[in-house]
Structure 1
């Protein structure tokens, strides 16, 4: 499991409006493409330098493909990264603050200590 890779996916997709829409419309295809093309690219690197060892686990892939923010949190993804990306994808389908409240409601069964979100 790589909390770093989960957070990297959420961070990079959230910062590109075209990727946000692509992920909203075709999560499976976007996750597969991103893992093959961008997972091992070094963030903020201006060259084509890449690593070779990063990959999602089956559980991470499943949670990403299903837009399952609760499972992502359980796997260690940072909740602020899931919240900001998922707001960009789904807030438009709901009334004011409705999505944020539903997001919080789905997470309310967690109690301290929360899953470790440190990378």
Structure 2
């Protein structure tokens, strides 16, 4: 499991409106494409720089592919990254503050200490 890779996915997708829409419409396809094309790119480096070893495990891949932000949080994905991305994807389907309320409701079972979000 790689909390770094989960957070990198959330961070990079959230910052690209086309990826946000692709992830909303075809999450499984977007996760597969992102893992193939983006997972091993080194953030903030010149193009062409990459690593070769980063990959999602099956649990991470399934949580991303099903938009399961509760599971992502439990896996250690940063809550601010999950919240901002999923607001961008689903806020339009809810009344004002409706998605944020739903997010809080679905995570209400989590008590402190929260899962470790350090990468």
TM-score, normalization by structure 2: 0.99
Aligned to 1:118: 118
Cα distance in structure 2, aligned partners of 1:65 and 1:20 = 13
Aligned to 1:57: 57
Q: What are the superposed Cα offsets for residues 45-93 of structure 1, whole Å, 9 maximum, x if unpaired? A: 1230110000001000000000000000010000100000000000001
Cα distance in structure 2, aligned partners of 1:98 and 1:50 = 39
Consecutive unaligned residues of structure 2, counting only runs of 5 or more, are none
Q: What are the superposed Cα offsets for residues 29-56 of structure 1, whole Å, 9 maximum, x if unpaired? A: 0000000110000011123011000000
1:13 counterpart SS class:
helix
TM-score, normalization by structure 1: 0.99
Cα distance in structure 1, aligned partners of 2:73 and 2:94 = 22
Aligned CA RMSD, in angstroms, stands at 0.5
Matched length: 119
Consecutive unaligned residues of structure 1, counting only runs of 5 or more, are none
Aligned to 1:103: 103
